Structures are given as structure tokens and as C-alpha cells.
Amino acid sequence: MRRIAFINEKGGTCKTTLCVNVAAWLAGAGRRVLLADLDTQGHAGKSLGVDVRGLAPTVHDLLLGRARLEEVVRPTPVANLSLLPANKALAGFPMEVAHAADRADRLREALQGVPADGYDYLLVDAPPSVSLVTENVLRAADELVIPVALTYLALDGCAEIVESLERLRAERGQAPRISLVVPALYRKTQLADEILAKLRERFPAEVSRAVLGWSVKVDEAQSHGMTIFEYAPASSGAGQLASIAAELEARGAGAPGAPQAS
């Protein structure tokens, strides 16, 4: 089972969009997928049509040991795709485990309950911030997908992730590898092209071949609690997301390791 976290320590990068739709594409290809939402906004669940407001138990209960994995897993409208939902209750997690010695390993420990033969993929939608939850995600994942919005501060966000990985590697002797860096929200402008070129120079082996452009159909799909493959399968957004998902799957366990921080 591949454990892949979709992560960026800055918001507005299409992280949840990528995570949910890549999960749906993999599920549509017959892979068994478990999507773990680690964001207090619960947007992964909402994007799949799951009403997470007031829902219990959630991943919050799983991290605190108050619920078993099988009690938290929820079905979704997408065949082969299950969800570990989150909602605002997760915001209390850092304070609740502040004095626990294993506070940064709660997610990794909880996911040990995932049966190895039960899923082909575990995808994690990480929070868009630096936090104890983010640290839990980095310690639990084997691979990372980093979406990068092609804006002025895009490369800065990538650099922060690499620094976090280097700190984790120094502490533990290992860290998840970067499997894919996905340029997102692309528009045909000189600035976007310059940022994309710098991104490819910095991550020559990791940047995806497909670039995710801005798509109104993707936004519309999310507003209806649907994946793009349900809502507008013939749209350009669906084609781009399918290409990114296929590339991630093709890279498998033998993809290049994460670049060293400079």
C-alpha cells in the first residue's frame, strides 16, 4: 500500500482538489483507495458529497484513540473510495495531546490498523499550515505530492516543505520522498511561465508533465460535492487531473528521492 500525502504549508494551492480527484481517478481505475482528511475544514469530505458537520466519530477520535479505524471509515459515492473524515473538532487535537510523548506519531500509529491487503493507496489531505497535524502527516507518509500555485510566492512554499523534510530526516534518519510536484492554477502569462521554468529547474525529476490550469468546471464540481470525473468527465480539468493521477501511479515506489535542501 502506497501512503501518499498531498501537502503544502501554504493555502490556495489546489491541494484538496488534487487529492480528492486523484483518489477518484485511482478508484475509477479499480484501485482500492482510502482518503484521510487531516484538515479541520473537512473539504475533502465535502468535495465527495459527505456532510462532515457534526459528524462523529472522525479522524480526530482516531488520533485520540477514542475510536477504531473501522468505526471512522466512511463510504463515499465513488466506488472503491473510502474516507476518514475530519471537521472542526480536529482543531483541538494539538492541545489535547500537548504533553503526550507520542504526539507527533499519532497518525502513523493509528494507520498501522489499516489492513495491508485492504487498500492499494492511502492518500492524505494535509492541512495548509505548519502544525502538529502537519508533523503527524510527514511522519506517517512515505511519499509526498506538492501542489504549487504558479504565483509569486510559489517557490517559497516548496522551499519550506523541503526544509521540513530535511529537519525530519535529521531527527529520524528518514523522511518521505517527493514523488510529484504539481504546477497548479496555471494561466498563460509571462510571470506564470517564469515561475514554472524555475520550478522545473529546482525539481527537474519531480515536476509533473501535466500542468493543472484554472478550471471553472472543477470549482463547479466541488460546489456540488462531486469529483470532476462525475461532473464533467470530458472537460479540460478532468483531462489534466487524469494525466496527473496516471503519472503518479506510474512513478510507483521507484521514483526519484526528494531533492536536498539548498
What φ, ψ does residue 185 adopt, rounded to 5°? Answer: 55, 40
Question: For the whole model, what pTM was predicted?
Answer: 0.91
Q: What is the DSSP letter of 242?
A: H
Can you list the domains of the chain with their CATH numbers?
A: 2-249 (3.40.50.300)
Average pLDDT over the chain reads: 90
What φ, ψ does residue 192 adopt, rounded to 5°? Answer: -60, -40
Kindly state the cell numbers that stand for 204. 527537474
- What are the tens digits of pLDDT across the range 180-219? 999 998 888 898 899 899 889 888 999 999 999 988 999 9
- What are the tens digits of pLDDT across the range 146-167? 999 888 776 677 778 788 888 8
> Is the confidence at residue 246, as pLDDT, over 80?
yes
Q: What is the DSSP letter of 20?
A: H
Kindly state the cell numbers that stand for 40. 479541520
